């Protein structure tokens, strides 16, 4: 349930000015139309957004929460619209933006129309209206499809972020009424899925037994893209402290080190030095990951035989049936060692600890439920760090 952009601007402008008349002037509507828009939105959400006072319209608590979300969403969207053409801030519609985002994602007008459930000319017309205001093409037509220009991609990201912010707004308002709406989407890197997310979700489920939670898996760069687009609420895993990410916030939770593991009874099980280990076949994290960089620092000569994977399950099965050695997060593999499925090779590893934590978009404000999930992750991380310190 996302109202029109004009209605969102009405709510924001009333919040700023306390006046339906001023909001009508800013949005080029009549005052009765503004009053009807506010009343209609209040009926939709089931809450009063403004108190009618002699001095004007004063936001209620629900109104303040909604206005804060709208203001944050529109500040990003309007910047992207103005970069294309200042008039788009006034003329762009939600339907046009939805069509544009669909074409950017599908790289095809026909596929975008299919995904939206509308006729293809409808999508063409919506994109053409934005192009008319911008005075330029938004897509390059190629033999393989339509490719969005860089400014078009920025606008699509801003439109996705607006939708994500409004989804959070409806969750906020539902929370005020004792209802649960929406879901939490977590980007889970391999370490977080096994050692952090499982216990954290168990804690979270005690308080929120029915709220939907989706864990998205994939390479770090893909998860980061989903986070920036608003498709993922937050990421959990190994941070990249050396990388400059001005649009993201990194919160450190605990430190982790790498471990060399093998099957019980492996010839290298009792090794106490690195000498000779490089001659074994290895199962390693993929190129470009912090774990792989740590391996390269410890073993400059690349092993002659290796398998690259981020899957603990695949590593465990391969190690169980061969003389492969594995190089993996000590926290991630701890349950396998405790069960006796794998054994830690007690060689000295002078690698620097990796920082495990949470990545969010800068300025992102979690809903109550999202905040509860983050608190559960923090508590589990604190417990893990305490256990590691006791060893």
358 is written with which tokens?
């949470």
Please give the Cα distance from 92 to 60 (Å, whole number).
29
The dotted CATH code for 5-158 is 1.10.10.10
- Looking at domain 182-254+355-390, its CATH superfamily turns out to be Periplasmic binding protein-like II (3.40.190.10)
DSSP element (H, E) containing 49: none
Architecture field, domain 258-352? 3-Layer(aba) Sandwich (3.40)
Residue 193 DSSP symbol: I
Question: Could you give the residue range(s) of every CATH 1.10.10.10 domain in the chain?
Answer: 5-158
Low-confidence ranges of the chain (pLDDT < 70): 1, 191, 241-244, 351-352, 388-391
| Buried b / exposed e along 115-131 (16+ C-beta atoms within 10 A) | bbebeeebbbebbebbb
pLDDT at 227 (0 to 100): 95
Residues of the chain with CATH 3.40.190.10: 182-254+355-390, 258-352
Distances (CA, A) of 317 to 15, 312, 346: 59, 9, 21
pLDDT of the residue at 385: 81
- In this structure, what token pair is assigned to residue 82? 């103005």
What pLDDT was estimated at residue 272?
Answer: 80
pTM of the model as a whole? 0.84
**Percent of the chain at pLDDT exceeding 70:** 97
- pLDDT in the model for residue 91: 93
């Amino acid at each position: 349930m996302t109202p029109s952009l004009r209605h969102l601007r009405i709510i924001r402008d009333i919040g700023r000015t306390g006046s339906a008349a001023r909001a009508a002037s800013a949005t080029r509507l009549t005052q009765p139309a503004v009053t009807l828009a506010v009343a209609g939105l209040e009926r939709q959400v089931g809450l009063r957004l403004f108190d009618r006072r002699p001095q004007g319209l004063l936001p209620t608590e629900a109104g303040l929460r909604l206005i804060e979300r709208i203001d944050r969403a529109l500040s990003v969207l309007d910047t992207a619209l103005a970069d294309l053409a200042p008039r788009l801030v006034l003329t762009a519609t939600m339907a046009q933006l939805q069509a544009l985002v669909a074409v950017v994602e599908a790289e095809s007008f026909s596929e975008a129309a299919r995904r939206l459930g509308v006729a293809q000319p409808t999508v063409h017309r919506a994109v053409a209206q934005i192009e008319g205001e911008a005075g330029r093409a938004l897509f390059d037509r190629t033999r393989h499809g339509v490719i969005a220009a860089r400014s078009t991609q920025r606008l699509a990201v801003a439109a996705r972020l607006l939708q994500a912010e409004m989804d959070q707004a409806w969750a906020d308002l539902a929370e005020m009424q004792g209802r649960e709406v929406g879901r939490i989407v977590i980007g889970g890197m391999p370490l977080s899925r096994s050692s952090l997310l499982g216990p954290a979700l168990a804690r979270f489920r005690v308080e929120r037994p029915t709220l939907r939670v989706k864990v998205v898996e994939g390479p770090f760069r893909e998860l980061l893209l989903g986070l920036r687009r608003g498709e993922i609420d937050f990421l959990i895993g190994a941070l990249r402290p050396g990388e400059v990410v001005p649009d993201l916030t990194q919160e450190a939770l605990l430190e982790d080190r790498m471990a060399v593991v093998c099957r019980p009874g492996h010839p290298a099980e009792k090794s106490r030095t690195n000498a000779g280990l490089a001659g074994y076949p290895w199962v390693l994290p993929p190129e470009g990951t912090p774990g792989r960089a740590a391996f390269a620092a410890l073993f400059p000569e690349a092993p002659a035989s290796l398998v690259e994977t981020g899957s603990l399950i695949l590593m465990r099965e391969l190690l169980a049936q061969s003389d492969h050695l594995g190089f993996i997060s000590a926290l991630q593999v701890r349950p396998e060692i405790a069960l006796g499925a794998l054994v830690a090779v007690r060689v000295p590893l002078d690698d620097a600890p990796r920082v495990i934590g949470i990545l969010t978009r800068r300025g992102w404000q979690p809903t109550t439920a999202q905040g509860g999930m983050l608190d559960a992750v923090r508590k589990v991380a604190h417990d893990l760090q305490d256990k590691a310190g006791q060893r």
